[in-house]
Structure formats: C-alpha cells, structure tokens
C-alpha cells in the first residue's frame, strides 16, 4: 500500500515490484482528501483516530 505520507525511494521500489493486483494506492489527495486533512493527523506521519478509521474503510473497500 502506498500510504498518504512522504514516500521514500525504498518504499517506492518495493511497491513498484508488486503485481498490480496486490497494490493499493491512497496517495491521491484529490481522490482521498480526508487522508490529507491536517485535522486527521497526530504528526506528519501518523493518522489520528478519525484518519485511521477513514484509511481502514478505504483499504477494506479496495480489498472487497
């Protein structure tokens, strides 16, 4: 999964090696604005309860 945080080269290298059916990308602020709303973050890399709940819902929907 590409999370809604600053991505490193290593993270991208691993993600790019995965088969397409195993990828989940939530790095689009236009598509997932709630994940980029500063009110849903504790700090620059950790979501709070509301942000975590939304991310869980998005991932569950994509896995379904």
State pLDDT tens for residues 15-28.
Answer: 999 999 999 888 88
Considering its fold, how many domains does the chain have in total? 1
pLDDT above 70 covers what percent of the chain?
100
Give the domain extent around 52. 9-63
- Look at residue 4 and tell me if it is in a domain: no
> What's the rounded Cα separation, in Å, for the pair 39 and 26?
17
- Look at residue 2 and tell me if it is in a domain: no
Given a contact cutoff of 8 angstroms between Cβ atoms, the answer to whether 34 and 54 are in contact is: yes
> What's the rounded Cα separation, in Å, for the pair 34 and 31?
9
Measure the N-to-C terminal CA separation of the chain; round to a whole number of Å.
15
Residue 4: exposure state from Cβ atoms within 10 A (0-12, 13-18, ≥19): buried
Question: Rounded to two decimals, what is the model's pTM?
Answer: 0.77
């Amino acid at each position: 999964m590409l999370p809604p945080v600053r991505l490193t080269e290593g993270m991208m290298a691993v993600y790019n090696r995965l088969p397409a059916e195993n990828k989940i990308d939530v790095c689009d602020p236009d598509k997932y604005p709630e994940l980029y709303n500063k009110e849903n973050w504790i700090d620059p890399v950790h979501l709070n309860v509301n942000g975590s709940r939304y991310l869980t819902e998005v991932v569950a929907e994509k896995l379904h």
